[in-house]
């Protein structure tokens, strides 16, 4: 039975302005199954996007974002990488 809060996320590397130690490149996209971390995803990056994932998982929308179900997070590695986090699927409870 699916939990009413089950969802997936699309996390896209939106901008890279300097050297990234994880070698992210603009346009790279990862699919997150709930809050599970995809293989080879940087732990530091996951740490900063987790609050957005958690909020979006429970239906949050941010008034400062242009789209519903979207949040942006900046990597702690000197802010060189910006990620766009988008809720892409909600699986309703039966």
The predicted model gives 41-52 an average pLDDT of 93
E-state strands within the chain: 6-16, 29-33, 70-74, 81-91
Residue 2 has pLDDT above 60, yes or no: no
Cβ atoms within 10 Å, residue 94:
6
What pLDDT is attached to residue 56? 92
What pLDDT is attached to residue 5? 59
Return the domain boundaries, the chain.
6-91
Residue pLDDT, tens place only, 64-89: 999 999 999 999 878 899 999 999 86
Structure tokens at 59: 């239906």
Beta bridge pairs of residue 29: 12
């Amino acid at each position: 039975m699916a939990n009413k809060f089950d969802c997936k996320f699309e996390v896209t590397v939106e901008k890279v302005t300097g050297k990234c130690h994880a070698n992210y490149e603009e346009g790279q996209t990862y699919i997150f199954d709930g809050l599970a971390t995809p293989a080879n995803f940087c732990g530091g990056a996951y740490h900063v996007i987790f609050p957005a994932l958690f909020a979006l998982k429970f239906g949050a929308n941010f008034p400062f974002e242009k789209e519903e179900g979207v949040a942006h997070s900046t990597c702690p590695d000197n802010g060189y990488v910006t990620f766009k986090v988008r809720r892409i699927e909600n699986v309703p409870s039966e």
